Amino acid sequence: MNIKPTAPHLNAYVKTHKQDKPIRPVVNSIPASSYKIAKLLNKKLQSLTNLPNTYTTKNSQEVTQELHNIQTDGNYKLITLDIKDLYVNLPIQSIIRTTRFWLNKENHDKIITEQVLYILEIILKQNYFQYNHQYYQPNKGIAMGSPISSTLAEIYLQYLEEIYIKHWMKSREIIMYKRYVDDILIMYDQTKTDETTIHNTIHNTDENLEFKMTAEENHIISYLDLSINRKPSHIELDIYRKPTHMDIIIHFSSNHPYDHKLAAFRYYINRMITLPITEQARKQEWRNIIITAHNNGFPEPTIQKLRTKLMNKRNQPQETQQSQQNRKKWINFTYYGPTIRKITNLFNHTNLQIAFRPTNTTYQQLSQRRTNSSKPSGIY
C-alpha cells in the first residue's frame, strides 16, 4: 500500500484520431492507496488464470496471416465491431464472477482463489477519483490507468467469447473472429447467418456493453491499420489510414535523439515490407513515406538508407537477431543535446545498449511545470 495515498486525478485526453474528437477519460492511479497491490495482483492473475487468448490478436501482422490461411468464396462477408467505452462499462460483480470461473478452471487451491478474489474486490471498489476538487465514485467500470485494468478486461471478454463465440465457430456460421482490445473483426458465411443476427446476438450478451457495427463497403472494410478487400476467391490487403490522419512526426531539426526521430519511419517501413500487401500498394506506401519525410524535414537519402538497413535485417536468420538482443543490457541517459553522444560512445564496445530519455515532452511544455534548461529536448 502507498504510505501517503491521495485520490487519483481524472485526466481528459482528446482522441485526435477520431472524428468529432471525443474525450478519453484516464485516471492516474499511481498515488492511489491500492496502486501497488493492484500492480502485484495483476502479475499474479496473469499467471493464475492462464487465459487461452483463442480469439485475440496482438497486431495486424497476425490478422493478415490468418486471413491468408482462409479459403474464401463468394459467400463469406466481413464486419467489424467496436466496443464503446469498454473500461468504464465493465460490471464489477461480473468481473469477480468471471475471474472465479478462470481460476476454478485451472484447479487452483480454494484458499488461493478466495484470497485473490477478496483482494480483487477491494481494488475494484476503490475506483474513486477526483476532478476539479470534487470526488466521484462510479457504480460500475474499471479505471483506464490502473495497472490491472487491461487484464480484468481480458478476463471478462474472453469469458464471453468462451461462452458465446465458440459454438458459432464450430457451426461455421462465423469463419473467423479476431479481437484487438475492443476492436473485433468477423468473417461469416452469409448462407448460414447475416450481419444483423450477429450484431444483435453479440449486443445482447451483456446489457452493459454497446457494440457499434461497420459493414463492408464495395467489398472493402478497414480493421486496425489494414484495408481488407474481399475478392471472390482471395483477400487483398492494403495499408489503411484514418481520414483524420496527419503526417506530423518529430521534425528532423528537433533537439531530440536521432533514434527517436527515426522511430516512426522504422515502423512505417517495417510495416510496408512485412505485410503481404499487393506490389501496387507497396509502391504507394513508399510514396506516402517519402512525402511524410519531406513534410517533416528529413533528407530522402536518410529514409532510403533506413529502408535498406531494415530489409537486410529482415533477411538475417532469426536466431542471429535473437542472440544479439540477448547479449545486450539496457541503460538510459537523459538527452540534453548531441554532445551527450561523447559520453555514450564510450559504451560502444560493451554489452550495454543505450536508450535516451528526453528532458522535456509536449505534455510538460503544455502543463504548468517548466524545465530550467535553455535548450530542452522535445518537439519544436
Q: Give the pLDDT score at 379.
A: 43
Residue 157 pLDDT greater than 70, yes or no: yes
Residue 329 pLDDT greater than 90, yes or no: no
**CB 128 within 8 Å of CB 137:** yes
Q: Which has the closest alpha carbon to 231: 95, 74, 87?
A: 74
pLDDT digits (tens, 9 = 90+) for 338-358: 888 888 888 888 888 888 887
Mean pLDDT of 256-269: 93
Residue 371 pLDDT greater than 70, yes or no: no
For residue 36, give the amino acid letter: K
User: In whole angstroms, what is the distance from residue 272 CA to residue 285 CA?
Assistant: 7
Band (pLDDT 50/70/90 cuts) for residue 268 is very high
Alpha-carbon torsion angle 248, 253, 254, 257, nearest 10: 110
Sorted by sequence, the CB contacts under 8 Å of residue 105 that are 6+ apart come out as none
* Lookup: cell for 320: 542471429
Residue 202 pLDDT greater than 80, yes or no: yes
Residue 375 pLDDT greater than 60, yes or no: no
Q: pTM of the prediction? A: 0.85
- DSSP character at residue 165: I
Residue 29 pLDDT greater than 90, yes or no: no
pLDDT digits (tens, 9 = 90+) for 116-143: 999 999 999 988 889 888 999 888 888 8
Mean pLDDT of 277-285: 93
Q: Give me the count of residues in the chain.
A: 380
